[in-house]
Amino acid sequence: MQSISETIRNSGVIEIRDRLSSLSGGRVLDVGTQHGSFITVMMKSMKDYEAFVGIDISEKDLEKARDAVPDDSVEFRIMDAEDLKYKNDSYDTVCLSYSLHHLENVDIVLGEMMRVLKPGGHLILQEMYSDGDQTDAQRTEILEHHLGARIDRVEGIPHYDTFSRQQLKDIVNGLGLSSVEVYETAWSLKCLYCENSHQCEDPRSEYNLEFGREEIQRILDRAKDHSEMDDVQDEARLLLERVENTGLHSASLLFFICKK
């Protein structure tokens, strides 16, 4: 593990890692796995595990996942999370990381995840939120994220505004779990294992500014293909100015560790 700065140490993310390190994962299902990065983080953070399965609806993303996580205990499968091809009570742990606001039908997917989770098993969910006491640099990231989601939707890709803290709590509390622990942090678990995390600390570091500029430029380029989206181009230009003033920092997130 990298040496961890005071800022990250005091953010609440260490408590999440410590709690996970007391949990045995057993058979773990990661829904909306994309490139498998949450699987890598969970492998490093949990006390132990038997095997991981990562599912996603995008084969292109799964190809990257197979390259990124070449491990015999990990399998990646193309599957719609709205129709999981697994029996009831077949997983010890089910995970959803940064994917909730990418789902067309949140209730159906969470219902499926609850169905395949064994009684006594764990649901792990992390998701950034849009409101609360966040810095200007974090708000820039949220605005950039929401603008990117608008382009995705125009191109037929489900992607919505991120939820508020209360909406996230209501969604999880509505699942009928036997216990729900909620953690909050502005730093993701993966930052604990990233050798570049120190570069993310200053929102106005060249590393963060360049990242922000590139992301917003990508949105601008995509918006140019959609003449009906002139307002998105205008917003992207304003965001390019905003990022120079505020810098960029990842939005805060809620991390749920729940027992069925």
Task: Name the nearest CA neighbour of 72 among 52, 56, 86.
Answer: 52
The answer to whether 132 and 105 are in contact (CB under 8 A) is: no
Shortest distance in whole angstroms from residue 77 CB to ligand SAM: 10
Q: Which of 4, 20, 32, 252: binder of ligand SAM (CB under 6 A)? A: 32
* DSSP bridge pairs for 24: 48
Q: Among residue numbers 136 through 175, which ones bind ligand SAM (CB under 6 A)?
A: 158
CB-based contacts of 260: which residues, under 8 Å, 6+ apart?
Answer: 114, 117, 118, 119, 120, 121, 122, 123, 177, 178
User: Is 201 one of the binding residues for ligand SAM (CB under 6 A)?
Assistant: no
Candidate list 15, 82, 152, 184; residue touching ligand SAM; CB under 6 A: 82
Q: Which residues touch 23 (CB under 8 Å, ≥6 apart)?
A: 46, 47, 93, 122, 257
Which of 12, 19, 44, 57 binds ligand SAM (CB under 6 A)? It is 57
Binding track over 88-107 against ligand SAM, x by CB under 6 A: ---------xxx--xx----
Alpha helices in 100-229, H assignment, sequence order: 106-116, 136-154, 165-173, 206-223
Tell me: does residue 56 bind ligand SAM (CB under 6 A): yes
Residue of the chain from 4, 13, 16, 37 that contacts ligand SAM (CB under 6 A): 37
Instruction: Please give the Cα distance from 244 to 223 (Å, whole number).
Output: 21
- Whichever of 49 and 246 has its CB closer to ligand SAM, that residue is 49
Q: Which residues bind ligand SAM (CB under 6 A)?
A: 32-34, 37-38, 55-58, 61, 80-82, 97-99, 102-103, 158
